[in-house]
Amino acid sequence: MDAMDESGPFVVRGGTLIDGSASPPRRADIRIDGNGRVAEIGERLKAGELERVIDAEGLTISPGFVDLHSHSDLYSMSREGTAAPVGDAPKLLQGCTAQIFGQDGVSAAPVEDHGVDDLARSMAGLDGSIEAEQWTWRSFGEYLTAVRRKSATRVAGLVGHSTIRRMVMGTEMRPPHPHELDRMCQAVDSAMAEGALGLSTGLVYVPAAYAGTDELVALARVVASRGGRFFVHVRSESDRVVEATEEVLEVARRSGVHLHYSHIKTAGRANWPLAGKLIEMVSDYQAKGVQVTADIHPYVAGSTTATVLLPPWVLDGGEDAARMRLSDPTTAKRVRSQMLSDTTSYDNWFAFSDGFEGLRIAQASRPGTQGKSFAEWIRSEGVNDINSQEAFNLLFDLLISENFSVSLISFNNTEENIARFLAQPYTSIGSDALVNPHGHPHPRLYGTFPRVLRRFVRELGVLDLPNAIQAMTSKAAGTAGWPGVGSIAVGGRADMVAFDPEQVSDQATWEEPRLPPVGIEKVWVGGRLAVKGGKLASQVDAAETSQV
């Protein structure tokens, strides 16, 4: 049976409906019309003459999951011979029918003609790359149109702080001049007028890392004026996480913006006891009328570009300047010294991951690197003292030779804290997964949502099933200000997942990160079958025709 055999019009019969509202599960049939919308919900619906019947006995039917924090921005525009775009396939297999791009301050637009190559290089370690001839857009609206024509999921986006700062003032480590700040504010306003849900920033990533609090407030006021969201990767998730959290909560209070705290955590074993303090701070500001939401992923390790290992000043002026600094022996010694000892002037990923032992190489083209810890790779190069200058020089050489497009995995969290944050009423789910199609990715790329259902619902009981589904669907869409997504309702789009609640489980591991989940039986996007029997349909079409 191919995808068309289970596309509309049809009736899904005998399943247990969890509609995304946190209402109790109920047995219900669902009628889908030929336009991919829900036509009727009821008991024992009779199929019309031209309607197929899909047996869902024993399965739970829920809205398609919403990946609140996706990094498939460019990967969702490339198929590479697969049934679905490479940025969409892992999400569809775990039940995601919608993704939000432009995370951590990095978006694919806006960009000026002369800045395309620079922006493309800066995105490669996080959000992928495409052939130069595919990069046809300049404005945010043009990017949304382009990606929606290609993606097999529903797509929304945030405009990135680093992208705008890079366009206006390059990668200089300084405050903006007044006219530069005005240009950035205008760029945010234009992007939102063209469809951006809000602004994102990543205050550990250059050049957003160079921004002061007043700059954030000015930009956030623009977002607030349009009713948007401000997604924030805070300045420190480790030794200064309390101060960093206070900063963004104050930005929200001063600007009136809805603050969304990306992948909330306290990184590094010395900071794990601070989770309760962060929860208390968020509650205090919510009591003052500040809108605060958050997302989390269900793993003790994160993943990002390896440039975060470097103190931000190293990247002042761009990659060429960084290449020169890291190639200079005196400067290289200074960088090593700061990475080994400084945990407060910047968010030191090397330190809060317990050094090279707690860091793995997720993507690099050099043979013999991917999937190994940095410590294993350094020792394989004949260097036994992994804290020596020689060891650090190997890291610097790898970054330079890979044009700073290395991705890593960082072990820095504890499951107890994940459970505490997940249980908060304002928290939703985001995979935060780098696609790394030719690398050794984090298992959350394939496992995030099934892992929540297995580990945190079925095994630990942190959430019951209706509340977990709500966190993955309607709550996530509401958090982002994305109407018409995350629910099953008459007249709405038929973005749906059919899964076995007793069997659904992640299979991806640190050693085999590309294993798809089990228990996700069917996934529809706009009434079109994308996944059947845990496998992609033979050809998953773009979702653009049902974006609105």
pLDDT in tens, 216-264: 999 999 999 999 999 999 999 999 999 999 999 999 999 999 999 999 9
Q: Which two tokens stand for residue 464?
A: 């019951």
Residue 3's pLDDT is: 44
As a whole number of angstroms, the distance between CA 296 and CA 432 comes to 9
Dihedral (CA of 369, 370, 375, 376) sign: negative
Phi first, then psi: give them for residue 132, nearest 5 degrees. Answer: -55, -35
* Long-range contacts of 465-470, Cβ-Cβ distance < 8 Å, separation of 24 or more: 465/18, 465/25, 465/60, 465/501, 466/18, 466/22, 466/23, 466/24, 466/25, 467/22, 469/18, 469/20, 469/22, 469/62, 469/63, 470/20, 470/21, 470/22
Residue 83's pLDDT is: 85
Single-letter code of the amino acid located at 287: A
As a whole number of angstroms, the distance between CA 80 and CA 437 comes to 10
- If one counts every other C-beta atom within 10 angstroms of the C-beta of residue 329, the result is 10
CATH architecture of the region 3-63+489-541: Roll (2.30)
Residue 6's pLDDT is: 63
Question: Per DSSP, which regions of 262-402 are E strands?
Answer: 292-296, 301-305, 359-363
Residue 81's pLDDT is: 73
Neighbour-count burial of 116, counting CB atoms closer than 10 A to its CB (0-12 exposed, 13-18 middle, 19+ buried):
middle
C-beta of residue 540 within 8 angstroms of C-beta of residue 152: yes
Residue 8's pLDDT is: 67
Single-letter code of the amino acid located at 403: N
Closest CA to 29 of 55, 7, 64: 55
How many residues are listed for the chain in this entry?
548
pLDDT-flagged residues of the chain (< 70): 1-8, 544-548
C-beta of residue 339 within 8 angstroms of C-beta of residue 348: yes
Residue 544's pLDDT is: 57
Domain ranges of the chain: 3-63+489-541, 305-408
